[in-house]
Amino acid sequence: MIGGGPGVVHHTAACLDGEIQLVCDAFSSDPEKSREMGKQLGLSEDRVYGSYKEMIEQEQKSKGEGFN
């Protein structure tokens, strides 16, 4: 997920039908805000990013879930 900001409204709406699992995010351009939101949602610290560019770059390197 890119964006969404503070709060769980966007996350909750995206996951309502059970088809989506949030595994990484760039919630905010402020890395601290992103980390805090990631904690609240139970995401792994290494899957929460300070920018969408960083998220895409790191997730593309990943062999697991995420971008292909």
Q: Does a structural domain hold residue 55? A: yes
Q: Does a structural domain hold residue 3? A: no
Residue ranges making up the domain that contains 19: 9-61
In this prediction, residue 1 carries a pLDDT of 67
Q: Does a structural domain hold residue 56? A: yes
Closest CA to 47 of 20, 27, 17: 27
Q: Does a structural domain hold residue 68? A: no
In this prediction, residue 66 carries a pLDDT of 53
pLDDT per residue, tens digit, the chain (68 aa), is 677 666 667 777 777 887 877 888 888 888 888 888 888 888 899 999 988 899 888 888 886 555 55
**Residue 22 DSSP code:** -
Report in angstroms the alpha-carbon separations of 6 from 9, 23, 58, 59, 61. 9, 17, 22, 22, 27
In this prediction, residue 41 carries a pLDDT of 84
Q: Does a structural domain hold residue 50? A: yes
In this prediction, residue 13 carries a pLDDT of 78
Tally of structural domains, the chain: 1
Question: CA torsion sign, 36 to 67 to 23 to 9?
Answer: positive
